[in-house]
Chains A and B, each alone.
Chain A
Amino acid sequence: MTQYIIKRIGWIIFNLLVLSLIAFILIKNVPGSFLELQILIGQAGTMGTGLTISEVEKVRGVETEMMKRWGEDVPLWQQYLTFIKGLVTLDMGPSFRWPTQTIEEIIANTFPVSFTIAILAVTIAIIIGIPLGVLAALKQNSWIDYLVSALVMVVSAIPNYVMAVFVIFLFSFWIPILPTYGWGQPKNYILPVLAMSFGPIGSIAGYMRTSLLDALKQDYIRTAWAKGGTERHVIFGHAMKNSLIPLVTILGPMISHLILGTVFVEGMFGVPGMGQYFSQAAGSRDYPLMMAQTVIFGLILMIMNLIVDIIYFFLDPRIRVSRR
């Protein structure tokens, strides 16, 4: 097992190098620069992402520093090495868009927020989705099953940014008890988590339904019935075990997607998470931040997959024992 994990970590490092190289090359080739864009916006007099003149000055200062840092006059491969060095030593320098913060600060501040929301949303989805899926499977072809299946389909077709609008509307008009915008208090978490949990509820319920139905068809379930098991014994003692184990494999990707796939939802609720920062970084061409975020997110994704595989390893005796 340790050997397996070490090997996997080796591949993660290799994959991250490839990812950072690709991100680096791509970002180096993006037309337009941060400063140009900001000056344009400033001239057009638009508000929003545009910076004030004094801020532009500050950015200019940062950019000259970045120039030194990235050394436009040194060859590309040296720039890449500088970038990798920054990543490894956690010294990535300031961001363009938020010149007073370093990139590592931004990530350290935003990641816990996104991560907490993702974990909460998945927890809720598990708590609601599993019983729903089990119910639908046990009452196959009854109205409950049809209701759950319809719910699963509709919910998985509604993007979470549309769901977020409904949630906001619901809670600002019909039940105005929760804050729909803002950050800082625990209750600010509730609505974003709610909005983001619908999709995962749908996929978990759907997955659970199929995998329980599949388990119930297996020969070993017939054996359990033949042994004189009651519904409690056979379904909860046997079939549930078999169908819950593969569920773990969809949770990892689900959490990683929630961490970043919720760019729009974070914006709507005013959540200062990674997603929102990334979309703003993209919108304002803040390349250093984008690059760092891409690599960090890749790292999160790969670590999630590794964790899932490790958990799966402990849950499924077939893998656990044969790898020992």
Chain B
Amino acid sequence: MDLLLSIDNLNVYFYRSEGVLKAVDGISYNLHKGEVLGIVGESGSGKSVSVLSIVRLLPANGKIVDGSISFDGKDILKLSMNELQDIRGKDIGFVFQDPMSSLNPVITVGQQVMEPLLWHNLCSREEAYKRAKNMLGMVGIPFPEERMKEYPFQFSGGMRQRVMIAIALICNPKLLIADEPTTSLDVTTQAQIIRLLKNMRSELDMSVILITHNLALTSNFCDRLIIMYASNMMETGGTKDVLNTPSHPYTRFLLDAVPDIEVEKELVPIPGTIPDLINPPEGCKFHPRCPMSMDICRTEKPPLFPVGDGHYSACWLCGRE
């Protein structure tokens, strides 16, 4: 398979009045064409920041201080603003977490779906209108032509998220990034949205990065998983390997919190609290909450040890010998 996205040693810092916050602390991964990657972790672990970096849409006080991001052969961090705008929305589609606030309340839904086509000068207005109508139909919005004249507040949460997906897919992107697309929706709608994403992926033949809290959502959609904790990658590997033979204590915690993988269920909080990322613990970031922690965990940060075919784990338990 061809490589689409390659991230190497990404470091993102936030400059806050209390100090520097390392939101992403040296993350590396590859994504192949057609592959679906799931990123899982608790709130605040740096999932959103790591993918926002791919389109350079970090908040003003956040900075990519080190690393490289290569997308489709282009060095994202070296692109000019124009080149970057050419990629955003056209080659990379983004679906955000909160469909309530991610659509402009005073612009019609139709206009908002057509904009990526128009802004990239991909087609005429009439053509854009037709394509937007078709796309809205494809993502499951009934009466797309009528609904295009309406405003976001006239749509329910699930419908708005479908609109967001239509916007992200309208230009046939090579990569779809869905940042917790289902968190604010009820359970049935969540399943529908994930099913929709799955269908659209096979129909449009693109790569997907799916960010979620919910391990259960990943099992029958993602090819590979990344487990993140406190700005770091804890474990990565094929979805089956990670879910069936988890080798990192944190992943086991996450799995314990989901008793039956078929039952969709939110994470049960793990005992202890997420570390303060401005003054993070030394060594393994998980050691204050890890039942297996050893002396070395408190002083030295574990690298990613191979534990299987393409399966890695950042835990001293996996690489002591």
Contact = CB atoms under 8 A, between A and B. Distances in A.
Direct contact of A and B (CB under 8 A): yes
B67 interface: no
Interface string A230-260: 1001000110011001000000000000000
B87 A228 contact: yes
Contacts of B103: 220, 223
A237 B104 CA distance: 11
Contacts of B89: 226-229
Contact of B96 (A223, A230, A245): A223
Contacts of B154: 321
Contact of B105 (A224, A229, A318): A318
A223 B167 contact: yes
Nearest to A218: B101
Contacts of A14: none
B94 interface: yes
A230 B85 contact: yes
A73 interface: no
Interface stretch (B72-80, B112-120, B215-223, B293-301): B112-120
Interface residues of A, number: 25
B116 A228 contact: yes
Contacts of A322: 153
A223 B167 CA distance: 9
Interface string A211-223: 0000000111111
- What does DSSP make chain A's interface, helix, strand, loop or mixed? helix
B55 interface: yes
B151 A228 contact: no
A321 B151 contact: yes
Given A238-B107, A321-B154, A227 B88 contact: yes
Interface string A189-232: 00000000000000000000000000000111111111111100
B68 to A, nearest CB: 21
Given A228-B120, A321-B154, A223 B106 contact: no
Interface residues of B, number: 30
Most buried by A among B101, B106, B107: B106
A322 B150 CA distance: 11
B204 interface: no
Contacts of B285: none
A230 B104 contact: no
Nearest to A320: B151
A136 to B, nearest CB: 16
B56 to A, nearest CB: 9
B86 interface: yes
A220 B105 contact: yes
Contact of A241 (B107, B116, B167): B107
A184 interface: no
A316 interface: yes
A317 to B, nearest CB: 4
Interface of B: 55, 57, 82, 85-90, 94, 96, 98, 101-108, 115-116, 119-120, 150-151, 153-154, 164, 167
Given A229-B119, A230-B119, A241-B104, 16 more contacts: A219-B96, A220-B103, A220-B104, A222-B102, A223-B94, A223-B102, A225-B88, A226-B94, A228-B88, A228-B90, A229-B89, A315-B106, A317-B105, A317-B151, A318-B151, A321-B153
